[in-house]
A and B are shown apart, each in its own frame.
Chain A
Amino acid sequence: MNDLDWEQDEAEFEKNAAAMRELTIPPAAFAAVRQRVLSEIQEKKRRTLWWTWLSVAAAACIALLSVAYVPQNPAAPMPVIAKKDPPKIEWTPKPVRHASSGRLLARARPAQKTEPLAVVKMLTDDPNVIIIWLVDQKGDSL
């Protein structure tokens, strides 16, 4: 593209842009937009206000209903419930086995009596070897 083409393009485009710029919008179109915007905002405000009132009214209704259903005389006597004694249960304890019973006695071991032991010390030919013999009273060796 040479310089002349470029200049022609620029001029052409400038004309097109100018044509677009020159297209003026009728004033009624602006007014219509403004009107629509303002009425939309007012409508939204109205709706918000309406919902606020509705929620306040609903809260008030709930509060009133809850007050209406609360018992008016809180000091009313409580219903009397007849007392009943629980049925008596016959209970006989099982005989306890005492330690003196035969089986338990059989298990018990008598205390061992310690009898004195006799010690027999025997010397051998070797002085390093000593035989020690422990004997009880009966003569049995241990």
Chain B
Amino acid sequence: MADFRLQAETAGQSAGLLERSKATGDLEAFDQLMRLHEKQVLGTALRLLGNLEDAQDAAQEAFLRLYKSLNRLPDIQEIKPWLYRVTVNVCNDMHRSRRRRAWEPLSGPDPVSSQPDPESAWFGQERGRLVEMALKTLPEKERAAVVLRDMQGLSTREVAEILGSSEVTVRSQISVARGKLKKFTVRYLRKRL
């Protein structure tokens, strides 16, 4: 499986995978395409939804939409921004439907910190959880802008393209969102300490 991933990571093979998936509906090729983009999709969904189970549902939906739309994607280069766009949309839909239901506490297995030291791992997890909670208080567009720009590491231009807005708007959204996140964490820590 690791070999598959290594092989698939070359651009030429990615294009080949896309062509195979398109032409014959080859599930093995599509499986490899998913492996290429699963970190991007599931990671974004997890940061947007703050819940692994919901994130998995969102990722599943995004990949199913990818499979349905394979013939409409002419180029492998378009998959990445397209998947980001779909993931953000799916997460927004899920977030809205979840908000319509009662608020539910975090559920599912916790993501694991990669830090080897248990103490710093614990701090890292706590900080992550705090940011997760703070992110939930943001409006959809601001949350998506912060997640894509600061956590997924995309450029402002890419974020603007994915969200369908201008770079100026994205910069402004990120700035406002950071302010809100800071306020939330300060208030939260004051209450806790």
Contacts and interface: CB of A to CB of B under 8 A. Distances in A.
Contacts of A104: none
Contact of B42 (A17, A20, A29, A45): A29
Contact of B131 (A20, A24, A29, A38): A20
Interface string A20-33: 11111110011011
B47 A32 contact: no
B182 to A, nearest CB: 6
A23 B31 contact: no
A22 B113 CA distance: 6
A136 interface: no
Interface stretch (A7-15, A56-64, A112-120): A7-15
B115 A22 contact: yes
Contacts of A46: none
Contacts of A20: 47, 128, 131-132, 151
B114 interface: yes
A55 interface: no
A42 interface: yes
Nearest to B124: A19
A20 B44 CA distance: 11
A40 B60 contact: yes
B128 A22 contact: yes
Contacts of A40: 60, 64
Interface of B: 25, 27, 30-31, 34-35, 38-39, 42-43, 46-47, 52, 56, 59-60, 63-64, 67, 109, 111-115, 124-125, 127-128, 130-132, 150-151, 153, 178, 181-182, 185
Given A30-B35, A37-B63, 17 more contacts: A9-B182, A13-B150, A13-B181, A15-B127, A16-B131, A19-B125, A19-B127, A19-B128, A21-B153, A23-B125, A25-B52, A25-B111, A29-B52, A29-B56, A33-B42, A34-B63, A41-B30
29 contacts: A9-B178, A13-B178, A13-B182, A15-B127, A16-B130, A16-B131, A16-B181, A17-B131, A19-B128, A21-B153, A22-B124, A23-B112, A25-B42, A25-B46, A26-B109, A26-B111, A29-B42, A29-B109, A30-B38, A30-B39, A32-B56, A33-B34, A33-B59, A33-B63, A34-B63, A37-B60, A37-B63, A41-B30, A42-B27
